[in-house]
C-alpha cells in the first residue's frame, strides 16, 4: 500500500505537467483563432467598404493547372521555389560570413579585427535598400553578376553582420576552462574549435540564429525592387494583371507565414534533441 502511494505521488507531477502543457496549447490555439478572426473581420469590412469583389475561385490556377493530363505549376509555386532558392543560398553565405567575421574579431590579428569591425559598422549602419542598390547598380556590372546573385550577396552580407555577433557571443559563452583543457591536451586550434568549442556553443547560437534566418526569409522580399522573380515579385505581377489585391496578398503572406513557422518548429525540435544529447 505504501509503494502504491509513493507511485501515485511520483506520477502526480507528470500529470500536472501534462495538463499544464495541454492548457497552454489550448490557450495558444484559442488566441490564434481570435487573432485570425479579428483580421478576417477587418479585411472583410475593409473590402466591403471599398465594394471589393472577392474572386477566390480564381486563386487555384495561380498554383497549378492541369492541361492534357499534365500538371503545369503556376506563378505562385514558381515564385515560392525562387524564394527558397534565394533564401537558401543567402543563409549558407550569411552563416559562412558570420563565422569568418566572428573569428576575425576573436583573433589576435590587428588587420583582421579592423576589417571585421569596419564591415560590421558599415553594414549595420546603412539601410538594406541602399545596400541592395549598391550591389545591383555598382558591383553587379563590375563583376558581371545577374540580379539574383546581386540579391543573394546583399542579403548574405547584411544578415552575416548580425550572424557574426551571434556566433561570437556563443563562442565567448563557452566556459574558459574548456579552452584551457583543450590547450592542455595539445589540441590544434582547428581541433579545439571544431571538436570542443563550437559544439558546446551551438545551444547558445541556434536560438538567435533561427530568428536571424527567419528574418532573412522575410527580408528576401526586398529583392522585388530589382525584379528578382521571387514570391513578392510574382504577387505584385499577379495583382497588376488581375486586380485581386486582397486575395493575392493574403496568399503571399500565408505562404511566408507557413514557411517561417515550419522552419521555427523544425529548429525547435532539433534544439530539444540537442539538449537530450542525441546529436
Mean pLDDT of the chain: 85
Per-residue pLDDT band at 263 (split at 50, 70, 90): confident
Cα-Cα-Cα-Cα dihedral sign, residues 21, 25, 26, 31: positive
CA triple 244-247-252, angle to 5 deg? 115
Compute the Cα dihedral for 150, 155, 160, 165 and give only its sign.
positive
Domain boundaries, the chain: 2-52, 64-275
| Core vs surface per residue 31-59: b (16+ CB within 10 A) or e | eeeeeeeeeeeeeeeeeeeeebeeeeeeb
Q: Which candidate, 251, 213, 233, 195, places its Cα nearest to that of 55? A: 251
Q: Which helix (H) or strand (E) holds 71?
A: strand 70-73
First-to-final CA distance of the chain: 42
The better pLDDT of the pair 96, 35 is held by: 96
Left (φ > 0), alpha (ψ -120 to 50) or beta: where does 68 sit? left
If residue 72 lies in a helix (H) or strand (E), which one and from where to where?
Answer: strand 70-73
pLDDT class of 56 with cuts at 50, 70, 90: confident
190-239: per-residue pLDDT in tens? 888 888 888 888 888 988 898 899 999 999 999 999 989 999 999 999 99
Q: 3-state secondary structure string, 185-218? A: CCCCHHHHHHHHHHHHHHHHHHHHHHHHHHHHHH
Report the pLDDT value the prediction gives residue 96, as an integer from 0 to 100: 96
Q: How far apart are CA 100 and CA 207, in angstroms?
A: 20
Q: Give CA–CA dist 251/248, Å, rounded.
A: 5
Class at the top of the CATH hierarchy for domain 64-275: mainly alpha
pLDDT band at residue 25 under the 50/70/90 scheme = low
Strands 70-73 vs 64-67: parallel, antiparallel or unpaired: antiparallel
pLDDT mean over 77-89? 95
For residue 184, give the C-alpha cell: 592542455
How far is residue 36's CA from residue 245's CA, in Å, rounded to a whole number? 19
236 and 243 Cβ atoms separated by less than 8 Å: no
Nearest to 114 by CA among 154, 122, 143: 122
Please tell me the distance from the alpha carbon of residue 248 to that of residue 242, in angstroms, as a whole number: 9
Cα 73 from chain centre: 25
Amino acid at each position: 500500500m505504501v509503494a502504491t502511494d509513493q507511485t501515485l505521488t511520483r506520477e502526480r507531477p507528470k500529470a500536472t505537467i501534462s495538463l499544464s502543457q495541454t492548457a497552454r496549447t489550448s490557450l495558444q490555439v484559442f488566441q490564434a483563432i481570435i487573432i485570425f478572426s479579428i483580421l478576417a473581420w477587418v479585411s472583410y469590412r475593409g473590402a466591403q467598404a471599398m465594394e471589393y469583389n472577392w474572386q477566390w475561385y480564381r486563386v487555384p490556377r495561380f498554383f497549378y493547372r492541369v492541361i492534357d493530363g499534365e500538371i503545369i505549376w503556376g506563378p505562385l509555386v514558381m515564385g515560392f521555389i525562387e524564394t527558397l532558392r534565394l533564401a537558401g543560398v543567402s543563409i549558407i553565405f550569411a552563416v559562412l560570413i558570420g563565422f569568418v567575421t566572428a573569428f576575425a574579431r576573436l583573433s589576435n590579428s590587428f588587420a583582421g579585427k579592423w576589417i571585421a569591425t569596419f564591415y560590421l559598422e558599415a553594414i549595420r549602419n546603412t539601410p538594406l535598400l541602399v545596400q541592395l542598390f549598391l550591389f545591383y547598380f555598382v558591383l553587379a556590372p563590375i563583376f558581371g553578376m545577374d540580379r539574383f546573385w546581386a540579391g543573394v550577396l546583399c542579403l548574405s552580407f547584411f544578415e552575416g553582420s548580425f550572424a557574426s555577433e551571434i556566433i561570437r557571443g556563443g563562442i565567448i559563452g563557452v566556459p574558459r576552462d574548456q579552452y584551457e583543457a583543450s590547450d592542455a591536451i595539445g589540441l590544434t586550434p582547428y581541433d579545439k574549435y571544431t571538436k570542443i568549442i563550437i559544439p558546446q556553443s551551438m545551444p547558445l547560437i541556434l536560438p538567435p540564429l533561427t530568428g536571424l534566418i527567419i528574418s532573412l526569409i522575410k527580408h528576401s522580399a526586398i529583392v522585388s525592387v530589382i525584379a528578382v522573380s521571387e514570391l513578392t515579385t510574382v504577387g505584385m505581377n499577379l495583382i497588376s494583371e488581375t486586380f485581386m489585391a486582397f486575395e493575392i496578398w493574403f496568399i503571399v503572406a500565408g505562404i511566408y507565414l507557413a514557411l517561417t513557422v515550419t522552419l521555427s518548429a523544425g529548429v525547435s525540435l532539433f534544439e530539444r534533441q540537442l539538449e537530450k544529447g542525441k546529436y
